Amino acid sequence: MAENIEYTTTGKPHPYHLVRPSIWPFMGAMAGGLLAVGTLMYLHEPLSDIKDGVQEGMEFGLNGIYVGLVAVLLVMFFWWKDVLFEAVTEKAHTPIAMIGMRYGMALFIASEVMFFVAFFWAYFNAAFFPTEYIGFVWPPETIHTIDPFDLPFLMTMILLLSGCTVTWAHHAILEGKNCEAIKALGITVFLGVFFLGFQVYEYMYAHFGFTDGIYASTFYMATGFHGFHVLVGTIFLFVCWLRTIKGHFTPEKHFGFEAAAWYWHFVDVVWLFLFVSIYWWGTEAGMDLRP
């Protein structure tokens, strides 16, 4: 019962976690702004001039992006370090506090669902109502689509298997089998990296580029952002793997892992929609609609 009592700030016992004043929200905003400004400088180069075909003035290149990205990663590291201290050392994450965390993670995943809805909307709008510019057919005649039952099918099997191994890890934690959880999480992280390697290979040898029309744009935006989410989820699970080695998770307290598992299952489900609609329907069924 003592673990569920919080005295922070008020000095009175209560089941809630009142977070101490922290510099990290402010630093996170500054780091994010730095990354955004660096990206804009790279894309538009507003402080540079072109005279006689020669670039003059201040040239930022990718340096602004690199600096902003490093700043964001540093803020993430130190902020999450403080969160782990609250959870593991202070034991401030009471059952009541974790209810709020669960709602927060659920709402975050809901927002991610709407993020991908926008990309699917753009894809289906272009597919159901092909314009004169692409010859009123979908996929466009100029696009050599990717065989869905070649590399994409293998990638689907990899992600589905990773969903099984992360569930295995969850059950191992619930049963107090820490060694099993370490093994299962390690396999899951390996499968995530394996998937990303295949996606990079697919992009390298695809027969169309990002600027090759609406099909290519919607394809790369949807699958590319999914790949980014796989990268984030893999890092998330890797951190959980390290925490499992340190013995941070118990059958009663393991929400950090649970949130990562929710996120990973969300990534799995999005990929299934991508495989069916973009890789399969957008090629086989779509071609049957040709006049």
What's 280's DSSP letter?
Answer: I
Taking only the tens place, the pLDDT of each residue in 180-209 is: 999 999 999 999 999 999 999 999 998 888
Contact 177, 272 (CB under 8 A): no
Taking only the tens place, the pLDDT of each residue in 31-61 is: 999 999 888 888 776 555 555 554 544 466 6
Taking only the tens place, the pLDDT of each residue in 241-256 is: 999 999 889 888 888 8
Reported pTM: 0.84
* Cα gap 100→259, rounded to integer Å: 12
Query: What length is written for the chain?
Result: 291
Give the best-scoring range by mean pLDDT among 93-102, 134-143, 201-210, 275-284.
201-210
Contact 290, 137 (CB under 8 A): yes
Q: What is the mean pLDDT of residues 116-132?
A: 90
- Angle among Cα 70, 119, 157 to the nearest 5 degrees reads 80
* Cα gap 28→93, rounded to integer Å: 22
Quick one: CA dihedral 254, 260, 264, 267, positive or negative?
positive
Q: What is the pLDDT of residue 2?
A: 47
**Ramachandran bin of 255, using left for φ above 0, alpha for ψ from -120 to 50, beta for the remaining angles:** alpha
For 147, 186, 198, 268, 275, the CA distances from 154, given in Å and listed in that order, are 11, 20, 9, 14, 11
Give the other-Cβ count within 10 Å of 50's Cβ: 10
Of residues 132 and 4, more confidently modeled: 132
* Cα gap 261→259, rounded to integer Å: 5
Is the peptide bond preceding residue 139 cis, with omega within 30 degrees of 0? yes
The domains found in the chain, sorted by start residue, are 1-93 (no CATH), 94-291 (1.20.120.80)
Q: What is the pLDDT of residue 275?
A: 95
* Cα gap 228→216, rounded to integer Å: 17
For 39, 142, 149, 239, the CA distances from 67, given in Å and listed in that order, are 10, 40, 41, 23
Q: What is the mean pLDDT of residues 86-109?
A: 86
Quick one: CA dihedral 225, 227, 229, 235, positive or negative?
negative
Quick one: CA dihedral 241, 246, 250, 255, positive or negative?
negative
**For residue 164, is pLDDT > 60?**
yes
What are φ and ψ of residue 138, in 5° steps?
Answer: -140, 130
Task: State CA 283 to chain mean position distance.
Answer: 26
Q: Identify the burial level of 120 via C-beta atoms within 10 angstroms of its C-beta, where 0-12 means exposed, 13-18 middle and 19 or more buried.
A: middle
Task: State CA 145 to chain mean position distance.
Answer: 25
User: 118, 95, 57, 58: which is closest to 252 by C-alpha?
Assistant: 95
Contact 222, 123 (CB under 8 A): yes
What's 54's DSSP letter?
Answer: E
